[in-house]
Amino acid sequence: MSDAVLQGLGVLVKSLEIVGAGAIVLGFVIATARCFRQSLRQGVIPAVGRYRLSLGRVILIGLEILVAATIIKTITLDPTMESIGLLAIMVTIRTVLGWTMVLEMSGRWPWQRPQPNAAKE
C-alpha cells in the first residue's frame, strides 16, 4: 500500500479510537445526569434500572467502535501474529461482554427467543 493510504488509515484508526472512547465517556456522563434527574422525579429504584440499561448500551456501542478500529489497525497497519492474537482476545472479550449485557438488559441470552407474554395468551 502507498504511504498516503497507510497514513489515511492511521488517521482513521486514531479517529475511531477517539470516537469510541469519547462515546463511552460522554454516554456515562449523560446517563449519570439523567439518572440524577429521574431519581429526583420518580425515585431511586426506577432511575437505577434505567441507568443500568443506558450504561450497558453506551458500553456496547463504544466497544463496537473500538473493536472496529482494532480490526482496521490489525489488518492494514500492523499484521503481526502478536497483534492478531490481541485482536482475537479483544473480540472474544467483546463477545462475552455483549452476551452478558444482553442477558442483564433483557433477562435472556441473545440466542434465546423472547418468552411469550402471559397477557397475550
| pLDDT for res 117 | 67
Domain contains 118: no
Residue 87: inside a domain: yes
Report if residue 34 sits inside a domain. Answer: yes
Q: Is residue 44 part of a domain?
A: yes
* pLDDT tens sequence across 25-47: 999 999 999 999 999 999 888 88
Would the pTM of this model clear 0.85, i.e. be above it? no
Summarize the confidence of residues 47-66 as an average pLDDT.
88
**Domain limits for position 78:** 3-106
In a domain, 117, yes or no: no
Average pLDDT, rounded, for the chain: 85
Question: What confidence tens digit (pLDDT) does each residue in 58-87 have?
Answer: 988 898 898 888 888 888 877 888 888 888
Q: How many structural domains is the chain composed of? A: 1
User: Does 116 reside within a domain?
Assistant: no
Q: Is residue 9, in this structure, part of any structural domain at all?
A: yes
CA distance 74 to 88: 10
Instruction: Name the burial class of residue 35, with classes exposed (0-12), middle (13-18) and buried (19+) by CB atoms within 10 angstroms of its CB.
Output: buried
Closest Cα to residue 74, out of 88, 64, 84, 89?
Answer: 84
Q: What percent of the chain is predicted at pLDDT more than 90?
A: 28
Structural domain contains residue 112: no
CA 93/CA 103 separation, integer angstroms: 15
Distance between CA 105 and CA 45 in Å, rounded? 15
- The pLDDT of residue 121 is above 60: no
Q: What is the mean pLDDT of residues 47-59?
A: 88
